Amino acid sequence: MTDKIVRGNLLVFASTPRDAAGVVTTPDSVSLYLDYVHANGVASVDPPLAMDLQTDGTWTAQFDTKVCEPGAFFASIRAVNPSGADDMKLQIIANAANPDP
């Protein structure tokens, strides 16, 4: 089941990279890749967002969905050295009372 997010909400992405044995790792960098329909109606992939390492070993980034049109929203969190990835799909929803930005 795809999670539904109302346009205008701030999404907080968090990741705690682990190796094959489940041990937390600290990659050199972690980036957030997003693909969604922009307010101008064009679907495209944005430049990746650098995620910030928190003191607890979690990497986080935020994204404001106010710039999205209703529809599919894809995200990919990718770690470098060691490598890893986590992909997800969300659904951005809105109605007439939630107008385009």
Domain ranges of the chain: 3-93
CATH assignment, 3-93 = 2.60.40.10
Q: How confident is the model at residue 1 (pLDDT cuts 50, 70, 90)?
A: low
Contact between 35 and 29 under an 8 Å Cβ cutoff? The reply is no
Print burial letters for 75-96: b (CB count within 10 Å at least 16), e (below 16): bebbbeeeebeeeeebebebee
Per DSSP, the three-state class of 77 is strand
Minimal CA–CA distance to 94: which of 33, 36, 54?
A: 36
- pTM of the predicted model over 0.85: yes
Phi (first) and psi of residue 36, to 5 degrees? -160, 170
- Write out pLDDT tens, residues 72-98: 999 999 999 999 999 999 999 998 888
Mean pLDDT of the chain: 92
